[in-house]
Amino acid sequence: MGKYNEGILGFFRGKVGRVIGSVVRGVHYMKGLGDLRADNPSPAQLDQRTKFALMTAFIKPLKTLIQAGFPTTKEGPSSLNLALSANLRHAIKGISPNFSVDYEKFVFSSGNLPKPAGAHMQSTEDAQVTMTWENSGNVAPTDQATMLVYNPTQNIYVTLPNAGPRSAQSCDLQLPTDFSGQQVHGWISFVSADKKQVSPSVYVGALLVV
């Protein structure tokens, strides 16, 4: 243990509290101790780390959609952080440590435009899916649909911005032919014609690709 006899500005050698004093080649040094506690996270902290890693891995390949779907400002959080925050709160299911993404609650877009109403998805032919919706109330017919399909078997995403105007009430998405016979999940959102506003994305269901 060090002794500290020369007042607050004096030199010392050894350890005093959480400070170590030493002399190297006639030069006096002082350094503070780091956090000596071992990394021993609580079960709740471990769960949060697992959820964070799970959702980060799921969202990262959707960077372009996330940037469009979660607009940000220079002073605010990034689009990725906004999407992570929203989905960590609502789109994780399971019991520790077996967590998974809750596809029905996952969102890639969040905004003030009216969301797609009565939206659903069907597989038509040759690995193609069609998403349909209803229009009611005060909606802009020129809003453009954004389609997202995810194949968990292959861990592949297929996206299609500008898939069609809201007025069309349907749009098609061609999937890889090797998706046939495999289950996919789908989501849809709208973006205003000037790209300044977005709607919340909605889950349109799961199906086996024809």
Distance CA 71, CA 109 (A): 9
Distance of CA 110 to the CA centre of its chain: 12
60-111 pLDDT tens trace: 999 999 999 999 988 899 999 999 999 999 999 999 999 999 999 999 999 9
Q: Where are the beta strands (DSSP E) in the chain?
A: 14-16, 19-24, 27-32, 92-95, 98-101, 117-123, 128-134, 144-151, 156-160, 170-174, 183-191, 202-208
Q: DSSP of 91-112, one letter per residue?
A: SEEEETTEEEE-GGG--S---S
Instruction: List where CATH 2.60.40.10 sits in the chain.
Output: 114-210
Angle between helices 79-90 and 43-59 (to 10 degrees): 120
Task: Tell me which DSSP letter residue 165 carries.
Answer: B
Per DSSP, the three-state class of 132 is: strand
The overall pTM is greater than 0.85: no
Distance CA 94, CA 109 (A): 23
pLDDT at 4: 46
Q: What is the mean pLDDT of residues 23-30?
A: 67
Q: What would be the CATH architecture of the domain defined by 114-210?
A: Sandwich (2.60)
